[in-house]
Amino acid sequence: MDRKALEQMLARGIDNPLLRYTLGTLCLQEKSPEQALIHLEMALAQEPGHSASWKSYAKTLTLLGRTEAAIEAYRKGIAIAAEKGDVQAVKEMEVFLKRLRKPPS
């Protein structure tokens, strides 16, 4: 996906959870966690039940050093994914959550 094209869609007034999620993940890939956070927060505001957005949001918070917020985001994401029966998302987020809770060596 082309980030500029997606940002142009947003500038034209097209705004939805999938667009925001995609922009957030692209920003993460491009090492722009601050921008990713903005888009992922909007994705979750628009669709709080989107498991993948919770996972990316928590990952972004982790990259920004906001560990406690990331732990809470993973907890919420796990609960939402479990409620929806998204077993794979639950497993992935549980692994990331466990790593965050592990004390540094």
Domain count, the chain: 1
Distant-in-sequence, close-in-space partners of 21: CB < 8 Å, separation ≥ 6: 39, 40, 43, 50, 52, 53, 56
- In this predicted model, what pLDDT tens digit does every residue of 67-102 receive, in sequence order? 999 999 999 999 999 999 999 999 999 999 999 987
User: Residue 85, class by beta-carbon neighbours within 10 Å (0-12 exposed, 13-18 middle, 19+ buried)?
Assistant: exposed
What pLDDT was estimated at residue 101? 85
| pTM reported for the whole predicted model | 0.92
User: What's the domain range around 39?
Assistant: 3-101
What pLDDT was estimated at residue 80? 97
What pLDDT was estimated at residue 41? 98
Mean pLDDT value across residues 23-34: 96
Is the pLDDT reported for residue 105 higher than 70? no
CATH number at residue 43: 1.25.40.10
Is the pLDDT reported for residue 104 higher than 80? no
- Give the Cβ contact number of residue 93 at 10 Å: 26
What pLDDT was estimated at residue 102? 79
DSSP 104: P
